Amino acid sequence: MSEEAHHEEHAHTSMKGYTTVLGVLVVGTIVTYLASLVDFGGYMNIAVALAIACVKASFVLIFFMHLKEASKLIRLIAICAFTFLAILLTFLISDVEGRKWMPNEQGWIHESQVSR
């Protein structure tokens, strides 16, 4: 099989597809900025920002990194990598939240209960 025949059997994203994805990413960036101006309360600001970032990253992976045309094994590897990243981020957020507890003579207290 020649290189040209091998290249033609894979359908690549057209220029219209790339400009559509570019438009989605620009709109996603604008939505991210507008969401940063709103106070959703607590950890919801982070959750909204991460959700928007995940959607934008999905478009980059699917179209610009050609996961749409990749084999099932490559897709599985990408899904496993991002699942592992999500697990690590979950542990990171719980660790940061857990550091708000401080030792005291009576036991552990939350930093909001510390008198200054």
For the chain, the domains span 1-69, 73-116
In whole numbers, what is the pLDDT of the chain averaged over residues? 83
Over residues 15-35, the mean pLDDT reads 93
Say if residue 3's pLDDT is above 60: no
pLDDT at position 62 is 87
DSSP code, position 66: -
pLDDT digits (tens, 9 = 90+) for 59-86: 998 888 888 888 999 999 999 998 999 8
Say if residue 16's pLDDT is above 60: yes
The residues, ordered by sequence, that sit 6+ positions from 102 with a Cβ below 8 Å of its Cβ are 108, 109, 110, 111, 114
pLDDT at position 38 is 94
Threshold 0.85, pTM exceeds: no
